[in-house]
Structure 1
């Protein structure tokens, strides 16, 4: 099993990589939400999220 490793505020976080069932759910959620998005807006899984000026994370959906 692949693991996801991140360093956040000096703390090492280790967790599982999203599995197949998780990915299928995410796909269904994206397709369900897409029609409600304003023009020019995109839903992109696994993109970086900037928190403040010092943190850049990739969410574990």
Structure 2
């Protein structure tokens, strides 16, 4: 397993519930929740960009929230 260099937002506090991000050697990104660091989501840059745009513009489908 690759040892990722995890980063968290400067907006995050020292408490739990932080989203961590790491770049992988295959040019994908890894996301994990600080409460459950063993569960890692792999996304490409375009997918993450689309997700962030949808969140910022409040365009997530209702099914994505369940």
Q: Mark yes or no: TM-score above 0.5.
A: no
Q: TM-score, normalised by structure 2?
A: 0.26
Task: Give TM-score, length-normalised by structure 1.
Answer: 0.28
Higher relative contact order (CA 8 A, sep 6+): 1
- Please identify the structure whose Cα radius of gyration is greater: 1
